[in-house]
Amino acid sequence: MKFLTVAATLLVLGLSIGWVIYQRRETPVANPMTMPHPEHQAVYRFGNASPDGIGKFFHGREIAQVMGHPAIGWLERENREDEEAPSRAIQMLDLASNAVIADIGAGSGYYSFRISPAVPFGKVMAIDIQPEMLEFLTKRSAELKITNVIPHLGAVDDLKLPPNSLDAALMVDAYHEFSNPEEMLESMFRSLKPGGRVFLLEYRAEDQEVPIKPHHKMTEAQARLEFEAAGFRFVENRSGLPWQHFMVFQRPLGR
């Protein structure tokens, strides 16, 4: 009888351990940095990650892996003007001279420093979540003697800016990498003044000739789905850039 009791105990223990191993094998371990707040849980879906994705889905789109600070050289590449025409994109921003604009996912500050002369009485909030990028930005500001580009540390789910403090926000090939897009859209909405605009530049997924990996491109339809669900109004998609959409969204007046 004692032998049977011990055998039964070992059998139960073995089954329990086996179940735990099975669960760990079948259930992907989520990165806590990408886990949504409880109130946002329903908008995300988790699954197996593709080679360039993180296994987290928002409105049917798998979020792309982040391009980290080691890629500063690619951001600052000499032929970027030929490939993307950033000087043309900056002209298309049509900002007031005293505008406060956030360059969200500013990276090396490539756009921030080029926007700076367009807002001589305003400022550019160069926002990034990587301290290494902000350190680069700070050194570059000193080298260029630019005082209206303000390096600012954000979070994966929050710009960390006061409400109604921005006239505009710019995201250049960055939004598709946001690990918590629902929370970031809410943060952008709060930080913009009513009537404030979002300029969203993303590589055109509709164009197979654009030589960028699929997870790092977006269609206009997908961008509109995500932004309009967050309360933004779609204004237009301006043409004129070689590889990118230039989409304009707005926080509606009175909201």
pLDDT at 41: 64
Identify whether the C-beta of residue 226 lies closer than 8 Å to the C-beta of residue 65.
no
- In angstroms, rounded to a whole number, what is the distance separating the alpha carbons of residues 160 and 191? 9
For position 69, what pLDDT does the model report? Answer: 56
H/E run at residue 255: none
pTM of the entire predicted model: 0.82
Q: Beta strand 100-104 with 166-172: parallel, antiparallel or unpaired?
A: parallel
Residues of the chain under the 70 pLDDT cut? 1-41, 68-76
Place of tokens 């500013």: 106
Tokens encoding 22? 């099975």
- For 174-191, the pLDDT digits (tens) are 999 999 999 999 999 999
**What's the pLDDT tens digit per position in 102-146?**
999 999 899 999 999 999 999 999 999 999 999 999 999 999 999
pLDDT score at 255: 83
Query: Where is 196: in which H helix or E strand?
Result: strand 192-204
DSSP state of 107: T
Neighbours of 16 (CB within 10 A): 10
Phi, psi of 66 (to 5 degrees): -85, 140
For residues 4 and 183, give the distance between their C-alpha atoms in angstroms, rounded to a whole number.
56
